[in-house]
């Protein structure tokens, strides 16, 4: 492991609540209220893959956040049995026939990691490595254009200054 990746892992480990909620074909915004507390941004539950309806996933994520905050638990520290219970209650409140959490414990734990959030956020402007590479390339191209503009503008300003100095010199000599 490189020094750089070790540093990244330490920084990721310092994050208290981090994840992403996916429901349907979109990225969820369940964590807006919870983010205000500074405890949770989002929790990643691969609902699209598990065929979880938007409202059920939204309700589950909200209740999971509430449970974590109420009990001062980080996502990774929420007991799996509690997550299953919370999901069952959420699913039953929407009269789902299959009210079992569609994730095994290992998949649930993985969904709570910062690394999973990065890999799951396959959106424009997201944190996934391919998108970061794309955005950096776009910014480098923009910076190159800006530098070219600055260079051309400085050249024009230098030329204008030479003409101004020449005009003053003519005025000074009276010609």
Q: Return d(Cα 21, Cα 33) in angstroms, integer.
A: 14
Count CB atoms within 10 A of the CB of residue 57: 25
Q: Return d(Cα 13, Cα 7) in angstroms, integer.
A: 10
pLDDT at residue 156 greater than cutoff 90 = yes
Q: What is the DSSP letter of 27?
A: E
33: left (phi over 0), alpha (psi -120 to 50) or beta: alpha
Average pLDDT value for the chain: 76
Q: Where are the domains of the chain?
A: 3-121, 124-175
Residue 171 tokens, joined: 């005025």
Answer for the pair 48, 25: CB distance below 8 angstroms, yes or no. yes
The answer, as to whether pTM is greater than 0.75, is: no
User: Residue 109 — pLDDT band, cuts 50, 70, 90?
Assistant: confident
More confident residue, 39 or 167: 167
User: Residue 130 — pLDDT band, cuts 50, 70, 90?
Assistant: confident
pLDDT at residue 136 greater than cutoff 80 = yes
54-99 pLDDT tens trace: 788 888 888 988 999 999 998 888 999 999 999 999 888 888 888 8
Counting every residue written for the chain, the total comes to 175
Residue 57 tokens, joined: 């996933």
Provide the terminal-to-terminal Cα distance of the chain, rounded to the nearest Å.
74
Count CB atoms within 10 A of the CB of residue 60: 27
Give the mean pLDDT of 4-33: 45
């Amino acid at each position: 492991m490189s020094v750089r990746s070790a540093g990244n892992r330490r920084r990721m480990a310092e994050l208290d609540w981090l994840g992403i909620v996916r429901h349907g074909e979109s990225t969820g915004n369940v964590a807006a209220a919870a983010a205000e507390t500074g405890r949770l941004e989002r929790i990643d539950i691969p609902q699209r893959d598990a065929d979880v309806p938007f409202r059920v996933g939204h309700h589950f994520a909200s209740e999971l956040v509430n449970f974590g905050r109420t009990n001062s638990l980080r996502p990774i520290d929420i007991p799996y049995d509690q997550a299953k219970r919370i999901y069952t209650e959420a699913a039953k409140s929407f009269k789902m026939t299959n009210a079992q959490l569609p994730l095994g414990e290992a998949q649930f734990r993985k969904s709570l990691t910062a690394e999973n959030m990065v890999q799951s956020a396959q959106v424009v402007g997201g944190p996934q490595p391919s998108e970061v590479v794309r955005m950096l390339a776009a910014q480098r191209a923009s910076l190159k254009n800006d530098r070219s503009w600055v260079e051309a503008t400085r050249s024009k300003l230098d030329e204008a200054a030479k003409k101004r100095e020449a005009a003053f010199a003519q005025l000074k000599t009276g010609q």
